[in-house]
Structure 1
Amino acid sequence: MTSRRVSRREWLASSLAVAAAATGGCLDTALVDENAGSIDRPARTKVGTPLRLRVSGFEPRTVVTLECEATDEAGRDYTGSWSLRTDESGAATLVNEDFTNNAPKSNWYGSERGRRIAERLTVSMILHRLSFESLFASSPNFFMGSRNSVTLSFHAHSGLFGTSTPSRSQSRVLVDPGVSRRSVEANGLVGWLYEPATRGPHPGIVALHGASASVPHRLSEMLATHGYATLALQYFDAPGLPESLERIPLEYFDTAIRWLTGRPTVHDTGIGLFGISRGVEAALLTATGYDGPVAVIGYSGGGVVRHGVAGVPPTRYIDRPAWTRNGSPVANPDAIRATFDAIEDHGRHDCRAALLPNAIRSRTPERLLEQALVPVEEIDGPVLLFAGGDDQQWPSTAVAALTVDRLRRRDHPRPFGLRTYCNSGHIFGVPYADYTGVPTNDTNGGSPKANARAAADSWPTVLDYLENGLR
């Protein structure tokens, strides 16, 4: 005798039928809906952009169940379902409010204009709203891995025994296979240029790694997928460059911007700077000296200058500058020590970023603190920072909060802000990556689930800020 696996929808339908019989049929949803309906959607969308998914052809003002299925690189089947109420024409759209489950715990600190951009309601990161049902372990996060795209399968039905719509699929693209890559070894630069598959000219972005010299290739591919010519720049630990994060001339980043914006396929009217960890310092310092529109995005870092570090990956702080301008250190060593002593005492781990600046300021002489802070108010564009409240490697929430506090005190006219993910650590950023192992070890902090959800949650905001600043 052959058994058939009962689908989740069939199980739900039979359960509700029993409930309907027990309650005299007093349910909002009709038992039978003869209208099969249809699903309207683009066949292909990019990760971080809206799904633009709509059901139609159902009874007016009734409940329609929309179901989604997808399989990750590990072969695990993920599912999700949402109840939508149709309008008077029998149609309904999946909206952000339907995604309230699985949202990561976070806090915002910044301008109101910045918050409005950061909280724009779009249905985008659907894959981290799906679940993998397991009887023996907690649900893992959807893992795209080396895949450039994943296929979502949708169907919808109304009524307990109504006919389901024909299944419709949508390809969610993380990296466009048409993105080109070339190595860059010009003007003393070391890097890789990722360009969109579409014709230019495109806005340009320079992406900067942190103290481990791990070049952000995947993020650069993703940015190119969304139409940004992205230079993933290495600035130490390569031939012709310093051995570690020590005495890095900011003129090197100026050269990178000139080279990128001087290409015929790249706009020369503005630039984006994308930093990770200590690369956020470099991005903010470079942006203050850039004469033109600039958008700055930073993960796990901020605009507080610290000493250089020895080794790759970093082994210890050294009493030598990390950054120079015209051959001179950009910050006073005494100011750096005083500021980070106060940060270690009052701001190492706290998700409430808005409370940190005053606590740190109470322990640091104003004249020294001002020498350690990047003059971010000089940046002609939006500034968006992300931090993990459980960052074990770097006091990212504190240094980012001091950056936002300075923008606030100087009445920065462009959108700015910090999103702190309370349970995340130092490493997050690429949606649907594998955050088990090193990204979530004792050195980096967070949990695989928290880091994965912070990565997925932050990506649409990155795209919105870049759109606001560069297009």
Structure 2
Amino acid sequence: MIGCFSLRRGALRSVYFTTRQVQLSTMSQTIPPILSVLPTRALVDEKFKVLVENLPAGSPVTLHSLHHSEDKDYWEAYAHYISDHRGTVSVAEDLSFGGTYAGIEPMGLLWSMRPVPGSQKGRRLRKTDVHSPMLVNISVYSGHIAEGFREQPPLASALTERWYMAPGVRRIDIREKGVRGTLFIPPGPGPFPGLMDMWGIGGGLIERRSALLASHGYVSLALEYFSPGELKSAELEFKYFEAAFNIVKDHPQVIPDRVGIFGISLGATFTMYLAAESTIIKPWCCVCVNGGHFYPRGETLSAFYKMIMRNSHKVRVDENDHQIWRDVTLPITSDLSRKVDVRKINCPVLLVSGHDDQNIPAVESAEDVAQMMHTAGKDHLLTRLHYPDTGHVIEPPYSPHFRATNFIIESTKAKAILLMGGQTKPHSDAQEDSWRKILAFLQQHLYSTSSPKAKMMIT
């Protein structure tokens, strides 16, 4: 496994960033507060420690985080604290009395981020350039405030870097055998287990999760989808995924019989489809996050979209006019020709489901998958994770939650705001817990020789 970012950089010295030496009105001395964020550089799934020192005892202060995204949006979080008898505030140990989060939340300044007031609705925080870090400025202000952060000087500030790519991870553009994507290779001699990484119906090339998986020791291919209608038959579309899988498997840095598939949303659907139906590839294990198994065998992606749109009369809207699509594929059909026959899957599968997914019926689909695999005597292959009050897009930990997001409907090119679901605190807890268990699942099945499938192959 690849060590944490901060350790790979070596022991980091404590670096204090003080932008202004502003005297607190309650202070009887001129020593300015000191704010530290350690480590200053880390992977996005690593925790940091935020500490403020040299405050008067019992002093009310506000900690504030600010990030300027690649989409040119500003995202912020803030929390109210009171310094202890030593004049110290430790975010990892002390209670927040209010703000965008409350209670003891070591990473609340990241996961509770939201667009600053006045931002366009439906924004979400995305990182496309994984060569550069997310820069987050942490500041401490006098008193308990909820607005006007730009209008007053902070007592102290610190800049922290959050990376998807660890040092030494290689990024390689893939344009071969008709496949488009980006391959991320961990540092070191290898060989490593491999993963094919697929996102959802929005399409495009999304690299951030693959970069992070490579930082944890997996050769990972971020796969770009073909456009609907680009490939003229279901057979060609299916072969596209098989070719992509084999690019990973045949890479000299990959252990060829230790390659899995990781999918979210439509990517999870295709993950199950490939595991059940392909005679060419044999994934060692699969991770499926909020995906449905309702994909008609032998159909093209265009036909799938058309099937979805035929049921668009089932779309509902909430009180904010956000569209709710989860009912479009309900009820789950009993017709095996209209869904993936998961009874054919012969590798371990991890299903992650958010109970408040308002985009697809993830829970109902997971229940049907479990029932089908039970009838086939394959309960031992299935692991399920359920998370209440959790929405559709479950990302690596500390990623800000968004309940609704802008979306362009493929068939009509119309713009809409889709409700994804989830409540900020439980959704964020689910992201942290599921990522830890996903990494453990991958470690067990792709690295360990004691995994159930490895034992079966050895015997």
Q: Which residue of 2 aligns with 1:41?
A: 38
- The partner residue of 2:162 within 153, 164, 172 is 172
- The partner residue of 2:258 within 270, 280, 289 is 270
Distance, in Å, in 2 between the alignment partners of 1:305 and 1:40 is: 47
Relative to structure 1, the CA distance from residue 297 to residue 453 in structure 2 (aligned partners, 3 Å threshold; closer, same or farther) is farther
Relative to structure 1, the CA distance from residue 449 to residue 100 in structure 2 (aligned partners, 3 Å threshold; closer, same or farther) is farther
Q: Which residue of 2 aligns with 1:93?
A: 91
- The partner residue of 1:243 within 221, 232, 235 is 232
Distance, in Å, in 1 between the alignment partners of 2:139 and 2:369 is: 46
Question: 2:41, 2:162 within 8 Å by CA — same for their partners in 1?
Answer: yes
Q: Secondary structure at the match of 1:94?
A: coil
Q: Secondary structure at the match of 1:384?
A: strand
Shift in Å at residue 129 of structure 1?
2.0
Say if 2:79 is the partner of 1:82.
Answer: yes
Distance, in Å, in 1 between the alignment partners of 2:269 and 2:183 is: 23
Q: TM-score, normalised by structure 2?
A: 0.59
Relative to structure 1, the CA distance from residue 180 to residue 125 in structure 2 (aligned partners, 3 Å threshold; closer, same or farther) is farther
Alignment of 1:4-403 (within 5 A): 31-32=26-27, 36-56=33-53, 65-73=62-70, 75-84=72-81, 90=88, 92-94=90-92, 123=107, 126=110, 128-134=112-118, 141=123, 143=125, 146=128, 148-156=132-140, 166-174=156-164, 179-185=170-176, 188=177, 190-196=179-185, 198-201=187-190, 202-208=192-198, 214-217=204-207, 219-221=209-211, 223-224=213-214, 227-233=217-223, 242-246=231-235, 256-257=244-245, 259-268=247-256, 270-287=258-275, 293-299=284-290, 301-310=291-300, 312=302, 316-317=306-307, 364=334, 373-375=341-343, 378-385=346-353, 389-391=357-359, 395-403=361-369
Distance, in Å, in 2 between the alignment partners of 1:294 and 1:96 is: 41
Distance, in Å, in 2 between the alignment partners of 1:405 and 1:265 is: 38
Relative to structure 1, the CA distance from residue 157 to residue 210 in structure 2 (aligned partners, 3 Å threshold; closer, same or farther) is closer
Q: Secondary structure at the match of 1:382?
A: strand
Shift in Å at residue 194 of structure 1?
1.8
Question: 1:82, 1:98 within 8 Å by CA — same for their partners in 2?
Answer: yes
Gaps of 5+ in 2: 1-21, 145-152, 316-322, 444-459
Question: 1:195, 1:229 within 8 Å by CA — same for their partners in 2?
Answer: yes
- Aligned residues with identical type, % of pairs: 16
Q: Secondary structure at the match of 2:406?
A: coil
Relative to structure 1, the CA distance from residue 64 to residue 33 in structure 2 (aligned partners, 3 Å threshold; closer, same or farther) is farther
Q: Secondary structure at the match of 1:275?
A: strand
Relative to structure 1, the CA distance from residue 316 to residue 442 in structure 2 (aligned partners, 3 Å threshold; closer, same or farther) is same
Distance, in Å, in 2 between the alignment partners of 1:400 and 1:44 is: 38
Relative to structure 1, the CA distance from residue 407 to residue 55 in structure 2 (aligned partners, 3 Å threshold; closer, same or farther) is farther
Shift in Å at residue 389 of structure 1?
3.8
Q: Which residue of 1 aligns with 2:384?
A: 416
Distance, in Å, in 2 between the alignment partners of 1:313 and 1:263 is: 33
- The partner residue of 1:436 within 406, 420, 437 is 406
Distance, in Å, in 1 between the alignment partners of 2:45 and 2:133 is: 12
Distance, in Å, in 2 between the alignment partners of 1:285 and 1:206 is: 14
Relative to structure 1, the CA distance from residue 73 to residue 207 in structure 2 (aligned partners, 3 Å threshold; closer, same or farther) is closer
Distance, in Å, in 1 between the alignment partners of 2:98 and 2:414 is: 30
Relative to structure 1, the CA distance from residue 98 to residue 279 in structure 2 (aligned partners, 3 Å threshold; closer, same or farther) is same
Relative to structure 1, the CA distance from residue 442 to residue 468 in structure 2 (aligned partners, 3 Å threshold; closer, same or farther) is farther
Which of the pair has more CA radius of gyration? 1
Q: Which residue of 1 aligns with 2:441?
A: 469
Question: 1:220, 1:232 within 8 Å by CA — same for their partners in 2?
Answer: yes
RMSD: 5.6
Q: Secondary structure at the match of 1:436?
A: strand
Distance, in Å, in 2 between the alignment partners of 1:454 and 1:245 is: 39
